[in-house]
Amino acid sequence: TQLLEQSPQFLSIQEGENLTVYCNSSSVFSSLQWYRQEPGEGPVLLVTVVTGGEVKKLKRLTFQFGDARKDSSLHITAAQPGDTGLYLCAGVSTNAGKSTFGDGTTLTVKP
């Protein structure tokens, strides 16, 4: 069973601060996705990373896929209250099939 450890589990910060969320595994993934979920709604895809070492930017969000495709990070610059939500990473196994989800990071950005 592939495990994907996500940290931190909870994060409460002030508006304007920076933060980083990590997803780590001992397994290699063919791709990895980051999602953001708000209460009562389904997860919304933020990004898919495929290539080892890949860096993608989405406005104030920067996503990085580890060189060995076993880990990933999400960095938010100058967080805003609208960034509040549950952030989930999901790794797709190299032999296809199911995705493995991290336990999620609940982010609260206080105005």
User: What is the binding site for another protein (CB under 8 A)?
Assistant: 30-31, 33, 35, 40-45, 48, 50, 86, 88, 90, 92, 96-99, 101-104, 106
Burial label, 18 (beta-carbon count in 10 A; 0-12, 13-18, 19+): exposed
Nearer residue to another protein within complex by CB, 66 or 104: 104
Long-range contacts of 56-63 (CB under 8 A, 24+ apart): 63/34
CA distance 75 to 17: 11
Nearer residue to another protein within complex by CB, 44 or 68: 44
What's the min distance (Å) between Cβ of 48 and another protein? 5
Nearer residue to another protein within complex by CB, 35 or 70: 35
What's the min distance (Å) between Cβ of 88 and another protein? 6
Burial label, 107 (beta-carbon count in 10 A; 0-12, 13-18, 19+): buried
